[in-house]
Structure formats: C-alpha cells, structure tokens
A and B are shown apart, each in its own frame.
Chain A
Amino acid sequence: MNWLDISSTAFQAAFYLYCASFICYAIAVAGKRWSNREPELHNRRWGRFGFILAVAGWVCHLTFFFTRWKGGGHIPTSNMYEFMTFLAMAIVFAFIIVHLIYRNNLLGAFAIPLVVIIIAYAAVFPSEVQPLIPALNSYWLKIHVTTAATGEAFFAVGFAAALVQLLRVIDFSRTDKAGRREQRWVEFVLFFMVVIIGFLVSVFAFRGGGYEAKFQQEKVSINQQGVENSVTQTVEYGLPPIVAPYNSEKLSMQPYLGIKDPLFEAPSWMNGVNAGRKLNTVIWSLLSGAILYGLLRLIARKPIAAVIHPHLSDIDPEDLDEISYRAIAIGFPVFTLGALIFAMIWAQIAWSRFWGWDPKEVWALITWLFYSAYLHLRLSRGWQGTRSAWLAVIGFIVVLFTLIGVNLVIAGLHSYAGV
C-alpha cells in the first residue's frame, strides 16, 4: 500500500464521517420535539456526536492531504480536484473554530452539508496526481492557495450562519409584497443548492452507467505574436450532450431517451476550456435539480424553507447575525493576505507584474471589495440583521463564482485550474 492508496482511503473515510456528522446534526436540530426526550438534552447530545464526527472526519481529511502531499511530491492544491478538497477541509477548520467560540449546533447542521457538497463536487474532477507545470512550481503555491482558501472557508461559514438566520427570521405569515419577496428569495437559495445536488446526482449517475460521447472541436486561437492557430481537439462528455461544443463534429454518442444528436451548439463567446461541455453540464444540473426540487415539494407539500423554519426557533437571530459577521471578520484579513497580497507577491515573481487584471485577479478583488462594502455597511444602522445576512449569502456566491465560475466561463492565466 503506497501513500496515495492511504490517501484515497482516508478521503473516503472523511467523506462518510462528514455525512454521518450531518445526519447527527440534522437529528439534533429536527428531533428535539420527538417524544420521550428532553429537547435541550437531545440537542446537546446529538450535537456533540455531530461535532465529534466532524472532527474525526477532519482528521481523516488531514491524513488524506498530507499523505497525498507525500505520495504526489507536491502540495495537493494544484488542480481543481485538489483545490476543492482543500477548500472543504478549510471550511471544516473554519467551522471548528467558529463552533468552539459559539457552540451552536445549527451552524453544524448547515456548514457540514456544505462541506459534503463541495467534496462531492471535487470528486467530479479527475483525482489523479498531476505533475506540476513550471508556472506552479514555487513555494508560493503552498502559501497563496492555502491562505486564500482558508479566508474563503470563513466566508463559507459566514454564509452558512447567514442562511440559518434568513430561515430563522423568515415570516411565512406575511402576505405583503416584501414578505413574499423574502420568502421567494430564501426559497431560491435553497433551490440553487438543490440544483448543485442535482448536478452531482446526474454526474455520478451517468458516470456509474459508463455514459460517453465524443466530439471533435476545432479551436482558433491567437497567440502572443498575433498569429492565428487552429487546433483540433477531442472533447469527451460524461453527460448526454444536449449542447455540442462550439464548432465541433460528432465522433460518437450513445443515444439517450431516443435522442441521437445534440440539440444545439454552444455559443462562440463561451471561451473557457471545454466551455461547451460545461454548459451542457449546467443544463443537466438545472434539469435534474428541478426534478429533485419538484419531488421534495411533492413530499413536503410546502416550500423547503417552511419545512426547515420551525426547527430553528430556539436560537436568537442576533446570535446568528453575530456568528455570521464574526466568521466573515475572521476571514477577511486572511482572505486579503492570501488572495490578494500573497497572490500579488507570487504574480510579481512568476509573471513579472504584481497585478495584471487577469480575470481571476479581478474577481478576487471583486470579492474583497464586496466584503469591504459589507463591513462598511454594517457600520450603519439598518444594515445588520436580515440585510447583512443577505449580503453574506451573496458574498459567498461571489466567492464561488471567483473559484469556479471564472474557470468555467472566463479563460485567463488561471485556466489550468480547470480540468
């Protein structure tokens, strides 16, 4: 058994431990009014199980990280799979810190499933260890990526707390316009998370079924000297192609639902690596997410937010506001250091300029500006509580776009972080 085998075993263990932790937290929060029990005691006991399992999962996750480092020869933060697993690990770290300060089970009930989703998302990407390209071969890879991800992890915990807060304060008895709007938007955030789960379900279902389709795509690019280059490449699909890559020909495709050809072609302006395949994935996610959401609604017969809301009554919204703000306040300096300052130092060494308005750099700046605006808005009255919770939610969406969206729709110097 070599290091990498230990590593992947530890990773699976971590995943299942997190799942178990989530289940305990869910029982802690949802099972308080079950018969034959003291609500307070029940909550505390199952919450403790949840936390212990989360810490155990984190220890396995650390084992995964360091054995992969040892086995792969470089820090496992060099591609999307490694980065997402690291981000998940950082979120658990941030969760542990914030939990130790505030000891609130609701936070675990929302932060841990986020971790599970991110790990599952990481598993979508090829997990093999890839040797480093020269641009990444620097000790700044260790410093920049880890600190940036840690900062973002605290934003993720801030997001989880803010989401609980929104679900806590949402008022389903309101029928006025503002009240309905709030209900709709909270539900939309939950729908968005269901879509991500839908994405994971469809990817792993078709992967399990061994689905495959291939296209030959011709790509015209203009190089540094201004010379046009045309490259043909094969694009492999794991999901049935609804959308074909731009400027491509079908090589092979297993028919699905009696459909033998892609329905349309990706637009030319999507110029990320394998943009067509990614667009196809987004469409599948929305489809399966919508089906999943429909099923949930059918079972519950009311909005998901309305299902969760009654279980959250024993915490004050002010405490949630404080947790969310505190997590972001802890994360902000770390993020500044990792995603901006260390990034600038590395850029100065590797690309000869500390700032070049590369899309990833710009979006890191946008994230930073967004959270700066959040922190300044909190100075004024009326921007605490619900409004600030909304900002924390939007802020994390900006973070996700910076981490994933930029690689998905915008190409740039960070394009190697794709697949």
Chain B
Amino acid sequence: MIHNTKCECGHQNPTGTVLCESCGKPLVDDLPLDSPLEMRYDGAARRSQKKNPAVIDRVWNFFSSVKIAIWLIILTLVGAAIGTIYPQESTFINLDDPAAFYKETYGTWGAVYQALGLSRTYESWWFIGLLVMIGTSLVICSLDRVLPLYKALSKQQVRKHLTFLTRQQTVLEADIPGDAEKWVADFGAQLKRKRYRVWTEGTALLAEKNRFSRWGPYINHIGLILFLLAVLGRSVPAWHMDQYVSIDEYQVKQIPGTNYYVGNDKFIVDYYKDEELPDQLKGTLRAKLYQTEATLYACTQYCNDDPLHDPVLEKVESHDIEVNSPLEYKGLKLYQYNFEQKIRLIEVKPMLLDAKSGQSYGPFDLKMDDPAEKSEAGPYTLTLNDVYPDFGLDEEGRPMTKSRDFNNPAFVFRITGPDLAEEGELYIYFPMPSADDKGVQQQINDSFKKLGSNSGRFNFEVGKMENVKFSQYTTFLNVRVDRAMPYVWVGAAISMIGLVMGFYWHHRRIWLRIDGGRLTLGAHTNKNTYGIRNETASALAKCGIAVDPKALDNRRNSR
C-alpha cells in the first residue's frame, strides 16, 4: 500500500508516519474515525518501517518488534519456571554422577528432567540465548523508538489539526465568548501555575510537562543492557574467582591462585540459650552466631612453594567474618560459608618421663605441622626419626600414614643423652589423647623394646591442658573476586532511575485552538488519563468553563 506521505498542511513526512509530524493530522486510516488516536512515539516513522528491507533490516525489524520482545520475555519466564521444578545440579557440590543421582532421588521424572538438560537450565545454550536475545531486543527496540520520539518531541507545532485534537483521549469542545486571545493567555497562566510549559501561537496553545518521563523506559533499558553485559563480563576469567578454603583454627593457608594467605585465628559458634527461645523451640539448637576471626596476609617473598624458605607474610587486614559480614580487601572478599566441628591438634608441649629415675624433663615444643628436627628435654636430645601425620597400619601391619592431614599424628623420636647407648633409643609418641592411640603407642614401643631399640624407660606426658593447643572447628571460607560487580550495580541503579522517571512522573500535553469563538481542546498523556482530566478540568473551571472531569473522557463518548 502506498500512502501519499505529504500532509495537507504541506509537510513531507517519511514513510511509516502515522500522524503528520507537523500538524498531527492522522495519515493512516486503520482505526475507526471516532476512536482515540494511536499516540505511540507521537506517530513518528521508525527505522523498522522502512520499505523493501534488506537482510540487516529484517533482523532489525525482528528485534525491534515489541511483540517479539514480549514473546522473549514469556519464553524466558517459562524456561526459568521449568528450572525450579527440581533442584539444579549446581546446588549440589561433588555430584559425580548426576544422572544416577536424579534417578535415585527424584524418580523417573527426575531422570527425564536431568536427561533433557533441565537440571542445568540456567547454564544451557537456549536459556543464555534467550537472555542474549532479550538484550539485543532491548538495544534495538529502544534505538528504533527513542530517536524518532526525540525528534518528534523536540519540534512540536503549537497549532494542530482539528482531527488530531478531537481524537485525543481527553477532549473538549466549547464556545468561548469574548476575546479568544485573552482567554488563551488566561488559560495558559492557569496551566503555568500547574507547572506546565506553555507556548502560544495566536489563538492556539500547547502546554507540556514532565517530558523527561518519556525517557524513563529508555534509561531503564540502558541500565538493563549494562546489567546484562556486566553479567556476561563475569565469565571473563580474570574478572572472576570463586574458591573455597577450609582452615583449622590457628592455621594459615594460601588462597589458591593468589599471593594471599588467610589465617583462622579463632572460630566461634554460639547458640541461643533456652531462655532466649520461645516455648516451641526450647531444647533445639538454634544458631546465634558463626564467626571466623580471620587475618589476611600478603606474601612478599618466597611465595611459590620455595622448598628452602618459608614464605614471608605481611598482615594486611583482619576482620571477624560472619554470615552477613565478609572480609574485604582490594576486591578480594572472604565469606563465611560453612564450618565443621573437628578436633585437630596444633601444638603440644609434652614432658619426657623417665620411669627409672621417676623424673620428668621438659616440656619441649611439638608442632604438628612443623615439628622441630631436634628438641631438648632436660639432658636428653630428641631427634625426629619419623612422622606419620595420619597414622595407620598397612596390610602387613607396618606403620604408614593414611593422608597428609594431621588427623591422627604419630612421631618417632630417637632419644640420646646421658646413660644411653650412643645410637640412642627409639620411642613413638601419639599426642592425641585417645585410649586407642595410647594402646597402639604402648604396643609399638613394646615391639621396639623386643627389637632392642629401646629399654622402655621413657614415656611422654602432657600434663596440663594449657600445654595442648588444638583446633576445635574447621571453617570453610568462600573466596571471591568479582570485578564486574560495580557494573552490575551501576546497571541496576540506572535501570531503577529509569523506572522511577517513567512510572512516577507522567508526560502530559494539552493542545487547544479557538476558531471563530469555538474552542477545541485535546489532551494526551501516556499514563494516568484520570490525572490529566482532573488537571484540565480544574484549569478550565478557573477560566469560566465548568466541566465534570469525566465528561472530558473521549473513550466514554465513543462507547
């Protein structure tokens, strides 16, 4: 269909224009003649309405359609909902065989769900594809509309075509006796008091307010685009780190992939006392506080597992990490993630007991993770012969260590000193205060005695509790770096500003003209027609035309 795009007022409009850019006369007769006009984007032509579209135009047209955008929103919505039917795989840590797990836990439907890939909905190509398409649609829809709208709003004519006025949503026709120009000036003054900007041209008037609210949706979209880009930016490896470290109390550990070390100085779990709980919860363990007293160190020298030197650490930050209070240092954040109650020895200060003389020597320091090669206890020297951090027996009954963790440490010392043979005597020592361990210790020392390695006169003893330093809890910290976060927040903030602009202010325009004593008034707003009717009626009343706000509603007249 070819329209004559030249309006009767003489203005040449681009193809696709719905309302003449100059006088506002409707150019397309697709709606009933008495119905309110389609005022979207002020009837301006958009790029997507170009004739004979090329491939790139077709892509543009596709994404510029609000209909397509709504479909994308609905599809994303449905996809997201499907993803909540069963828990996603990402909620389980160490899921070795997801297929078997879903079958076992959720039955056949769970297995089907997993096989269809729905247990990874939010990482799936189609879901991310939908988000990317929404992003594209946001960009193109906005560009396609904001430019023509901006142009249309920045060059508005004051005197509009009569059809344009009578087909607004808010309409009034009345007779104005007396001086038309004076009435227009008075009415303009009334509208100015309502914070309208007013332009007059003879007996025609245009009053406008809150035009900026029209940019709200587009600002919101810009914010959303920035937000989505920032979310995509999180997949840049250098921008993102997500690690878990488990640290015993008094332990200092390197954060993998960084030059930082973190120490757990103390871990506190606090539960509510019974008198603090309501009757229903009495007798239950209700946590009050989880706290890791953490210290962050930066390594300045010998950082990368130098076998000859211990790393040189410099304290940079300390913070009591709680669930709602992470430690933050230069973009690095440490969060309280979990904890485990597990006793681990850190250091003991045992006495060397001589059964022959009944004397005890020492105490000497024994650090579990870093025992000294030689220690002195009275006149005796203890040389470390062997360490089993996690003591166990192999199939042939020989001592071995099950792991490198200090779960059940055992130390073999060669003791030399006065009255002893030159090669000394061998003793094994289990610092853990368990009866089992003490039994094994006795057995092994007895077997050493049989072999002639010792005479059985020495024993070890930790006297007071203050000679034992142990960790009661292991804390699990989540270490994060997220360099995209500032952009996420800026995007969200911009989006919010746009929403507030668009929803809490309303763009209102009132046009009128008086032709031979006959007033024709039309008013338009994109939201809250109720408000503009009240405002118009109140201004009219002050200028001598009493009218019920409802009577201005054009839709009612046409019904």
Q: Say yes or no: A319 contacts B530, CB within 8 Å.
A: yes
Is the beta-carbon distance between B77 and A332 smaller than 8 angstroms? no
Give, as a whole number of angstroms, the nearest-CB distance from B126 to chain A: 15
User: Which residues of B sit under 8 angstroms from A131, Cβ to Cβ?
Assistant: 272, 276-277, 286, 288
A363→B290 contact, CB < 8 A? no
Residues from chain A with a CB closer than 8 A to the CB of B495 are 336
The answer to whether A373 touches B77, judged by C-beta atoms less than 8 angstroms apart, is yes
What residue in chain B is nearest A102 (Cβ atoms)? B530
A133→B287 contact, CB < 8 A: yes
| Interface pair A372/B73, CB less than 8 Å apart | yes
- The answer to the question of B156 belonging to the interface, with a C-beta cut-off of 8 Å to chain A, is no
A-side binding surface: helix, strand, loop or mixed?
helix
- Whether, in the assembled complex, B492 has its beta carbon less than 8 Å from a beta carbon of chain A, the answer is yes
Please tell me if the beta carbons of B80 and A365 are within 8 angstroms of each other in the complex.
Answer: yes
Q: Is the CB of B496 within 8 A of A135?
A: no
Q: How far is the CA of A316 from the CA of B550 in the complex (A)?
A: 10
Contact residue among A137, A318, A337, A341 (Cβ-Cβ distance under 8 Å from B324): A137
Give CA–CA (A140, B73) in the complex, Å.
29
* A322-B529 contact, Cβ under 8 Å, with A365-B80, A376-B69: yes
Which residues 79-107 of B have a CB within 8 angstroms of A? 80-81, 83-84, 86-88, 90, 92-96, 105-107
Contacts of B93 in A (CB 8 A): 224-226
Chain A residues lying within 8 Å of B289, measured Cβ to Cβ, are 134
**Residue numbers in B under 8 Å from A134 (CB-CB):** 287-290, 322-324
CA–CA, A369 and B337, complex, Å: 31
Find out whether the CB atom of B38 lies under 8 angstroms from the CB atom of A381.
yes
B interface footprint on A303-330 (CB within 8 Å = 1, 0 otherwise): 0000000000000101100100110011
Q: Is A126 an interface residue (CB 8 A)?
A: yes
User: CB within 8 Å of A: which of B263-315?
Assistant: 272, 276-281, 286-290
B438-469, CB < 8 A from A: none
Residues of A within 8 A of B86 (CB): 269
B279 touches A137 (CB 8 A): no
CB-contact partner of A348 in B88, B231, B485, B530, under 8 A: B485
Query: Cβ of A329 and Cβ of B527 under 8 Å apart?
Result: yes
Verify A269–B110 contact, CB threshold 8 A: yes
Identify the closest chain B residue to A318 (Cβ). B555
Contact B94 A225 (CB under 8 A): yes
Q: Which residue of A lies closest to B85 (CB)?
A: A410
Q: How far is the CB of B307 from chain A (nearest CB, A)?
A: 32
The chain A residue sitting closest to B273, CB to CB, is A131
Give bound CA distance, A406 to B83, whole Å.
Answer: 13
Q: Does A178 contact B (CB under 8 A)?
A: no
- In the complex, which residue of chain A has the Cβ closest to the Cβ of B81? A366
If the complex has contacts A226-B92, A369-B77, are A352 and B335 also in contact, measured as CB distance less than 8 A?
yes
Q: Which residue in B106, B276, B280, B333 is a CB contact (below 8 Å) of A126?
A: B280
Asked if A380 is an interface residue, CB under 8 A from chain B, the answer is: yes
Interface residue tally on A, bucketed by range: 35 or more
Whether B496 contacts A333 by the Cβ 8 Å rule is yes
Instruction: Report how far A134 CA is from B337 CA in the complex, Å.
Output: 12
Which of B194-202, B351-359, B404-412, B499-507 lies at the binding interface?
Answer: B499-507
Cα–Cα distance between A160 and B113 once the two chains are bound (Å): 37
Residues on B with C-beta less than 8 A from A100 are none
Bound complex: CA A365 to CA B279 (Å): 37
Within 8 A of B (CB), among A86-109: 101-102
A354 to B, closest residue via Cβ: B488
Task: Please tell me which one of the listed residues B88, B107, B528 contacts residue A269 in the complex, with CB atoms under 8 A apart.
Answer: B107
Q: How far is the CB of A157 from chain B (nearest CB, A)?
A: 15
Q: How large is the interface on B (under 10, 10 to 19, 20 to 34, 35 or more residues)?
A: 35 or more
A376 touches B94 (CB 8 A): no
Contacts of A329 in B (CB 8 A): 503, 527
Of residues 93 through 139 on chain B, the ones whose CB sits less than 8 Å from some CB of chain A are: 93-96, 105-107, 109-110, 122
**A317 closest partner in B (C-beta):** B559
Known: A129-B278, A269-B106, A354-B485. A333 touches B500 (CB 8 A): yes
Query: For residue B110, which residues in chain A have a CB less than 8 angstroms away from its CB?
Result: 269
18 more A-B contacts (CB under 8 A) besides A126-B280, A134-B288?
Answer: A128-B279, A129-B278, A130-B277, A133-B287, A134-B289, A225-B94, A269-B106, A269-B107, A269-B110, A318-B553, A322-B528, A322-B529, A333-B499, A336-B496, A344-B488, A362-B81, A366-B77, A376-B66
Q: Are B323 and A226 in contact (CB under 8 A)?
A: no
Whether a CB of chain B sits under 8 angstroms from the CB of A31 is no
A368 nearest in chain B by CB position: B77
Cβ–Cβ contact A138 & B324, under 8 A: yes
Interface string of A369-399 (1 = CB under 8 A from B): 1101100110111000000000000000000
B286 and A370 form a contact (CB under 8 A) = no
CA of A253 to CA of B525, assembled, Å: 64
Query: Would you mind naming 6 contact pairs between A and B with Cβ atoms under 8 Å apart?
Result: A128-B278, A134-B323, A138-B324, A226-B92, A352-B478, A366-B77
How far is B85's CA from A75's CA once the two chains are assembled, in angstroms? Answer: 32
B120 CB to closest chain A CB, in angstroms?
A: 10
Evaluate contact between A379 and B503: CB separation under 8 angstroms. Answer: no
B residues in contact with A345, CB < 8 Å: 489
Q: How far is the CB of B554 from chain A (nearest CB, A)?
A: 11
Q: Is the CB of B492 within 8 A of A341?
A: yes
A399 to chain B, nearest CB (A): 14
Interface centre among A322, A333, A359, A370 (most CB of B within 10 A): A333
Q: Which residue of A lies closest to B555 (CB)?
A: A318
**Would B70 and A373 count as touching, CB distance under 8 A?**
yes
Once A349-B326, A410-B84 are accepted as A-B contacts, the answer to whether A369 and B73 lie under 8 Å apart by CB is: yes
Please, how many angstroms separate the alpha-carbon atoms of A18 and B77 in the complex? 36
Q: Among the listed B40, B92, B326, which residue makes an inter-chain contact with A222, where contact means beta carbons less than 8 Å apart?
A: B92
CB distance from B89 to the nearest CB of A (A): 11
A101 to B277, CA, bound (A): 45
Residue A357 CB within 8 A of the other chain = yes
Q: Does A350 contact B (CB under 8 A)?
A: yes
A173 proximal to B (CB < 8 A): no
CA distance A333 to B492 in the complex (A): 12
Contact of A268 with B by CB under 8 A: yes
* Assembled-state Cα–Cα distance A316/B529 (Å): 14
- Name the A residues within 8 Å of B88 (CB-CB): 357
Q: How far is the CB of B325 from chain A (nearest CB, A)?
A: 8
> What chain A residues lie within 8 Å of B322 (beta carbons)?
134, 137
A124 to chain B, nearest CB (A): 14
* A369-B80 contact in complex given A134-B289, A226-B95, A336-B499, C-beta closer than 8 Å: yes
| A226 touching B94, Cβ below 8 Å | yes
| A352 to B508 alpha-carbon distance, docked (Å) | 45
Residue among B40, B324, B485, B500 with the most chain A CB within 10 A? B324
Whole-angstrom distance between the Cβ of B192 and the nearest chain A Cβ: 24
Contact B500 A359 (CB under 8 A): no
Query: 4 smallest A-B Cβ distances: which pairs?
Result: A128-B278, A138-B324, A226-B94, A352-B335
